[in-house]
Structure 1
Amino acid sequence: MKPTIKDVARMAKVSISTVSRVMNAPETVAESKRARVLQAIEELQYQPNALAQGLISKKSNTLGVLIPDIRNPYYSDVIRGMEDAAKLLGYSLLICNTDRDEERLISYLENFYVKQVDGIIFASDFLRSSYYEAIQRLQFPAVLVSTSSTDFEIPSVQVDEEQAGYDAVRHLIEYGHRNIGMICFPLDGSVSGPPRYEGFVRALRENGLEQYSTCVEFADQWFEEAYEAAAKLFTKHPDLTAVFTASDEFAMGVISYLADQGISVPGQVSVIGFDNIRMAHIVIPKLTTIAQPVYQMGHMAVEKLHELITTGSVKVLRESVPHQLIVRDSTRSILSGNSTI
């Protein structure tokens, strides 16, 4: 049988409470008693029960993670970054899919409280006032990743979404494209849709192409929805020579639709994605895209949460990480003398 705390107390000739204090507040125990307890623990090879320790210390070394949908490939590297950072810092992760459902999300927060998680990471969704109130009521240290809040003082890690959208469209314009459309997340109800659309519009406006800012169709998050949105976009605007999409999965949906119509990418239409998920360099043609450092963002979110848990504050409240334009095969220049086909 595994040794218990009673066995340790019996061998050391002290009370159970003394053994507990040696493990959780050793400075409160006389040196002679502390030495006997530590020797008994070593001889018996006693391993404290993690649940019991959590009840005493009010810590579980567990972090709760709230994401909209783990099926989205964007989250694989984000979670991997969180997991690696958590391992280094001595935490485990408890990951929950919210489906962006308010009732479901708040129920997860209540469950996190019962399980005594030490803090939470909230990803890729609006921080509604009801969420913030629940976080405050349950006294959770919290960090946002792939989103931020100007209404509430909660630490966050994300890229500049508007600038990233601008850089994507500027790349197309620099390649000579003037007839440019977009497949976007909804402007109402999504975190990334509005700023990426604003970047699209700003790039068009600065280059005298604002009339194309209405060449936009919307999809929630999946390939199939982007395929249907592409059909609508090209039916309305068959003259488009380039499309900026709000995600790599959207880009794949657009390319699939164009292939089914006998339209080559990038020969006739250039397509640029967003995120640089793993599939971006595997599909044919390989995707030109805006890369978010998603692994780094997940890693930083856990580090920032650990800082908040251990010190009560963070040095940088809203952390902005750099994005990068990755040019591959799905875009081409149409300027005279610069064709790549």
Structure 2
Amino acid sequence: MIPTIRDVAREANVSIATVSRVLNGLTGYSDKTKQKVIKTIEDMGYHPNAIARFLNNRRTQTIGVMFPAVTSEFASAVLQGIEEFALERGYSVLVCNTEVDGNRTMKYLQVLRERQIDGIIVVSEVLKHEYKHLLETMKVPIVLVSSESDDPDIPYVRVDDRQASYDAVCYLINKGHRDIAMISGSPDDPVAGRPRLQGYKDALYDKGIPYRSSRVVYGDFHYDSGGTAMEALLKQDKGVTAVFAATDEMAVGAMNVALQHGIRVPDDLSFMGYDNIRLSRMIYPALSTVGQPLLALGQEAASKLITMIETGKVVPSLVASHKIVERQTVMDLRT
């Protein structure tokens, strides 16, 4: 016979309300009582019924997470942070792959509405007007990761992409590089494309280095486009000493093409990435990059969303810190 919450309460010699509070991470009991309830749950093999939980507090204990590309290392690191925090708080996570162009976003929003999820985390995607209209009808809290909105009721968690890009280019300049190219994301992308490109331009300007459009090529943030962009760069401007890529994946794709052309890294050409995913330290030579706290971004997003779900109050946004991660792909030209 499947045990019920009543059976757990009887066996642990506590009230049903106490068992419920332990299950939902609420306060009002001693640590000794908590441990006794948890042990009883484990011994009896009790699993809370999602339908009963919904009827009790009008919540499904489920959050939706929307990614434009769930296969990327960036996405997996952020998702790990979200899931770790959510599971600790008793929430399940439903992951939706909206594709890079967002053509599945409306469909998945409909799915999340039908599932009666309690809140949504949107990663690396702009909230278009049609998305916001549907989200307003769902009446659930939303948190953005690596994006932002001008809506004060929608908090975000992200690094300052313009400043992080600026710092990366200044790092290269401080190593003696003045002929620096960039492999950027789409210039039409307001999430990471435009801010990172602007940081590149601002760093050159502040250091008195002329901006040359021939030294900017574009990709889609993923590995293959980095290689394609590098081929284009080699054809149109051969005078660069360093390449800054807007993601680690594009940087690694570009490095491989450079090596295929007999270009030594970093002796002949230096590379700088962005994100600090595992790939950046797994390749040889290990990639110097801009470090984003990806796991922490996911944890912070989940924390903010669950706080909004459980309190009904809007929480403040967070601009997380970034860092320059020095490895082996940048040559110091000052020596």
TM-score bucket of the superposed structures, by smaller chain:
0.7 to 0.9
Q: Is the 8 A contact 1:119 1:309 kept in 2?
A: yes
For 1:172, the equivalent position in structure 2 comes to 172
Matches of 2:153 and 2:48, distance apart in 1: 37
Matches of 1:71 and 1:118, distance apart in 2: 25
For 1:129, the equivalent position in structure 2 comes to 129
Q: Deviations over 1:106-145 (max 9, x none)?
A: 2212211221211110000111111111111111111001
- Would the alpha carbon gap of residues 237 and 214 (structure 1) be closer, same or farther in structure 2, given more than 3 Å must change? closer
Instruction: Quote how far apart the aligned CAs of 1:100 are.
Output: 4.0
- Would the alpha carbon gap of residues 84 and 170 (structure 1) be closer, same or farther in structure 2, given more than 3 Å must change? same
Residue segments in structure 2 that go unaligned for 5+ positions in a row: 8-15, 22-40
Using the size of structure 1 for normalisation, the TM-score is 0.84
Q: Is the 8 A contact 1:181 1:213 kept in 2?
A: no
Report whether the alignment pairs 1:80 with 2:87.
Answer: no
Report whether the alignment pairs 1:281 with 2:281.
Answer: yes
Instruction: Quote how far apart the aligned CAs of 1:221 are.
Output: 2.6
For 2:115, the equivalent position in structure 1 comes to 115
Q: Deviations over 1:285-308 (max 9, x none)?
A: 101000000000000000000111
Give matches, 1:241-256, under 5 Å. Answer: 241-256=241-256
Report whether the alignment pairs 1:63 with 2:63.
Answer: yes
For 2:266, the equivalent position in structure 1 comes to 266
Give matches, 1:9-158, under 5 Å. Answer: 49-102=49-102, 104-151=104-151, 153-158=153-158
- Would the alpha carbon gap of residues 275 and 45 (structure 1) be closer, same or farther in structure 2, given more than 3 Å must change? closer
Q: How many residues align?
A: 309
Give matches, 1:176-187, under 5 Å. Answer: 176-187=176-187
For 1:202, the equivalent position in structure 2 comes to 202
Matches of 1:45 and 1:281, distance apart in 2: 42
Give matches, 1:286-301, under 5 Å. Answer: 286-301=286-301
- Would the alpha carbon gap of residues 190 and 260 (structure 1) be closer, same or farther in structure 2, given more than 3 Å must change? farther
Matches of 1:83 and 1:310, distance apart in 2: 17
Backbone CA RMSD of aligned residues: 2.6
The amino acid across from 1:322 in the alignment is S
Q: Is the 8 A contact 2:60 2:117 kept in 1?
A: yes
Q: Is the 8 A contact 1:234 1:240 kept in 2?
A: no
Using the size of structure 2 for normalisation, the TM-score is 0.85
SS at match of 1:210: coil
Instruction: Quote how far apart the aligned CAs of 1:166 are.
Output: 0.3
The amino acid across from 2:319 in the alignment is S
Q: Which has the larger radius of gyration?
A: 1
Matches of 2:300 and 2:48, distance apart in 1: 31
- Would the alpha carbon gap of residues 148 and 184 (structure 1) be closer, same or farther in structure 2, given more than 3 Å must change? same
The amino acid across from 1:243 in the alignment is V
The amino acid across from 2:168 in the alignment is A
For 2:257, the equivalent position in structure 1 comes to 257
- Would the alpha carbon gap of residues 217 and 22 (structure 1) be closer, same or farther in structure 2, given more than 3 Å must change? closer
Q: Is the 8 A contact 2:179 2:242 kept in 1?
A: yes
Matches of 1:184 and 1:196, distance apart in 2: 7
Q: Deviations over 1:58-78 (max 9, x none)?
A: 211111000001111111111
The amino acid across from 2:331 in the alignment is R
SS at match of 2:157: strand
Q: Is the 8 A contact 1:287 1:330 kept in 2?
A: yes
Instruction: Quote how far apart the aligned CAs of 1:2 are.
Output: 3.0
Matches of 1:59 and 1:255, distance apart in 2: 49
For 2:231, the equivalent position in structure 1 comes to 231
Report whether the alignment pairs 1:321 with 2:320.
Answer: yes
SS at match of 1:290: strand
- Would the alpha carbon gap of residues 48 and 76 (structure 1) be closer, same or farther in structure 2, given more than 3 Å must change? closer
The amino acid across from 2:194 in the alignment is P
- Would the alpha carbon gap of residues 203 and 21 (structure 1) be closer, same or farther in structure 2, given more than 3 Å must change? closer
SS at match of 1:117: coil
Matches of 1:179 and 1:101, distance apart in 2: 33
Instruction: Quote how far apart the aligned CAs of 1:213 are.
Output: 4.9
